Every structure is written in C-alpha cells, then in structure tokens.
Amino acid sequence: MKIKTYLISILFISMMLILTACGGVTQLELTPTGQGQPSRTATKTIVSTPTAPQNTTVVSTATLLPSPTPTPRIHEVKKGETLGGIAWIYGVSLDELIKLNEDVNVRAMSVGTKLLIPYETLPPANQTPVPTPIQMPLRNLNCQEVLDGGIWCFMAVENNSGEVFESVSVNVNIADENADSITSQTAFAPLNLLTPGMSLPVAVYFPAPVPSPFQSSAQFVSAIPLDDPGSRYVSISVENLVIIQSKDQKSAQVKGSINLSETSTAVRLLAVAYDSAGQIIGVRRYDMSPDEINGSLFDFQVYAAYGLIDRVSVLAEAQR
C-alpha cells in the first residue's frame, strides 16, 4: 500500500515538471485578499501634470492694483435747464459744479453749453440719474368743452414747501365715461419760477374730436429745485395794475407797470382769469418787448375759454 502511494506521488510530480517546461502556457497568479476572495490586479493610471509656460511669472501680493481714474461726464445744456437744476439732477453741489466749470458764465448759459459734471457723484455703469421724487398738490382741475368741440383744462400747481422750484410739469387725462379710451397730455407751467406758497396755473387744450360725456384727471409730474434764484432771476413787482373787463365779461384788458431790482432782458407777465366760483377759466402769458421793458409799461388782453370773467390776477417773472 505504501509503495502504491509513493508511485502515485512520483507520477504527479513528474507531470507537473513537464507542464512547467512547456512555453505556450501562461500562469495566472491570484493574490489573496482579506476577505478570502481573489482580487484583480489594479490598473496603473498615468497622470500628466501640465507644466507652466516658462514666461509665466506668479506674483503673490496683498497690495490692490490701482484702478483707472474716471473722467468727468459732459452735460449739454438744454432749453429751460438751469445750473442749479442740473446740479440737483446729478446729485452734486452747486459750488462743485461752478468750480469745475470756471470758464462758463453761469448767469448767461445758452442752449448747447457743455458742462463738466464731477465724476465722484456719477451713478455706477453710467446709468441715467433719476431725480428724487417730489409731490405738489394740484388744485381746482376744471375741464370744459368749448364751441370748437375741443376741451380746455385749467388747474393750479401749489408749492406748499419751503423750496424754490422751476420747470413745473403736469399730466392731464381725458377719457370717456367708462375710461375705455384715454388721451393724455403733458403740460408745463407758463412761468418758470415757483416760489414757496405760490400757485402757478397750467392750461391744456384737447382738440376735437373728444369723448362725450368725458371725465378728466391730472397728476403732478416733475419740478426742479432751484438753490439760488438770484443767479438767474431778477426781483420784479407789478404796480399800478388796472383791469378793464369787456361788457360781455369774455375778456379783460390788463394794464400797469413793472419795477425791476436790476436790468433784465426777459420779462414775462401772466394774467389769470377767474370766474365767480374761483375757477380758472383763462390764462395769457405776455412777453414784454425790449421797448416795453425800458419803459416799464405793459398793456395786453386776456380771454376766457368759457364762462364769465369775475376777476384777473397778474404774475411776473424776470430773468437776467
């Protein structure tokens, strides 16, 4: 029995030596794992790290690089604009604006004059500056249809603040009874200056055809604060005022004289006609000629758009 077992072992060892000598057979080696199961040989991954270009310099610094110096904005003066109003729109002080524009005669700016606006106060990304909203009450909106089929609307803008304003504008709307069709107009006060406690009339005409019946409404739009009225306006008073009404009370003659604190080349008078209920029914702006200014006398007519004239008031404004 021992001899038989010994012969079998020798035969098995001989066969293994023969198989090992054969060159066409590849042996797969398995590596035991901690779980007692074979694991595959890990694939080797080659990672290529890019090399920085030789001309690249890396600098580490905590110092901020200087930013480009901004340049002032150019503002071109438009009709009706004043230096104080422009300063307010851009949010700059009037003194800074004057200092930056020393070569500009601020008392005789003409349309097209180019002003430098200090860059420190410019809004980011060159956005258009938006004025701070203000509100002024509108009094006695009065709209009536007239003989030609159109509609005249009158109202008064009241300055209930302690500031001086100019370039007052309002929006007036006319609509049919159900507000299905609305027509709007933006109107400016006939005089520029609106001092504290003062009221300025505004008139708007809507030509035919107009809705019948109609409804009306109005909203205050804008006004520009004026820091130094004396830089552009001359003190003026109306004296020796005479109002002569026509027999039919549809018109009135306005006569009188003006008194100026300084020489002015632009004087505007405003006659406002009221009915017996205190409603504005007619407005007439009168620009005095140089001869009239030199003689200090004026004489013109004001007419009622509708109704009967009960009284007339006169406002005046003089520019340098």
Using one digit for the tens of pLDDT, what is the confidence trace for 222-264? 888 888 888 889 999 999 999 999 999 999 999 999 999 999 9
What confidence category does residue 67 fall into, taking pLDDT thresholds of 50, 70 and 90? very low
Q: Report whether pLDDT(12) > 80.
A: no
**Listed ranges 28-42, 99-113, 173-187, 264-278; the one with the highest mean pLDDT:** 264-278
Segment 195-204 mean pLDDT: 95
Q: How many CB atoms lie within 10 A of CB 277?
A: 10
DSSP class of residue 197? Answer: T
pLDDT score recorded for residue 147: 92
What confidence category does residue 70 fall into, taking pLDDT thresholds of 50, 70 and 90? very low
Peptide bond before residue 207 is cis, with ω within 30 degrees of 0? no
CA distances to 157, 239, 248 from 136, rounded to whole Å, are: 7, 29, 35
Q: Which domains does the chain have, with CATH numbers?
A: 73-126 (3.10.350.10), 138-227 (2.60.40.10), 230-319 (2.60.40)
Could you read off the pLDDT of 110-147 as tens digits, one per residue? 888 888 887 655 444 444 444 445 788 999 999 999 99
What confidence category does residue 107 fall into, taking pLDDT thresholds of 50, 70 and 90? low
What confidence category does residue 87 fall into, taking pLDDT thresholds of 50, 70 and 90? confident
pLDDT score recorded for residue 16: 53
User: What secondary structure does DSSP assign to 85-122, as a single string?
Assistant: HHHHHHT--HHHHHHHTTTS-TTS--TT-EEEE-GGGP
Rounded Cα gap, residues 210 and 144, in angstroms: 11
